[in-house]
Chains A and B, each alone.
Chain A
């Protein structure tokens, strides 16, 4: 899977806004908030042609002190929430 293009990650306080954004237009109706770790994951896969739950788990292991099992569980949870927010495509 990969992320749908056209979203910009913008810091806002302790969190991040992921907003549908083109050169001229920013749509606040297509927006979700991400916490620090989700924003870190997003930044690292936004340009990837393809990634899966193991990609995210590896990224979490590289950055945070978590067990491989916890990293994989968090990666699955993240992918699920991104899918629900329609941020991912299987193409």
Chain B
């Protein structure tokens, strides 16, 4: 999920580093079907105890931020991918992970379940079809 408000992200990162929980609404469609950009809110905390399947806010290049899921983790190196993307991954180190998502809130006040999306991560080949169904049924 591309975050257009680059100026806000360093502030968000700073507050998270201070130990605060930060709520904001990400934009974009790259985390469908788990996060609907511009609609759902996410709560971010310090990125401790990272695991494959966590959704993280990362600075993958200077001032270029994504809110994507960890698809692989080897020592200090992480591979990220948007759940709504059909291809394309990002690579970064733990140092570039600014925050971790601990809650996703839909506008109706319900919390979406936080999942590591094991099944979704392993069905890349049929993802295009499922995303198409999601767009028709849920949007």
Contacts and interface: CB of A to CB of B under 8 A. Distances in A.
A10 B11 contact: yes
B12 A28 contact: yes
Contacts, number: 30
B7 A26 contact: no
Contact of B22 (A12, A13, A26): A26
Interface string A1-44: 00000000010110001000100111111000000000000000
Give the size category of A's interface with B.
10 to 19
Contact of B23 (A10, A12, A27): A27
Contacts of B15: 26
**Main secondary structure on B side of the interface with A:** mixed
Nearest to B15: A26
Contacts of A27: 22-24
5 contacts: A25-B22, A28-B8, A28-B12, A29-B24, A29-B25
Interface of B: 7-8, 11-12, 15, 20-25, 41
Given A13-B7, A24-B21, A27-B24, 16 more contacts: A12-B11, A17-B11, A25-B20, A25-B23, A26-B15, A26-B20, A26-B21, A26-B22, A28-B8, A28-B12, A28-B22, A28-B23, A28-B24, A28-B25, A29-B23, A29-B25
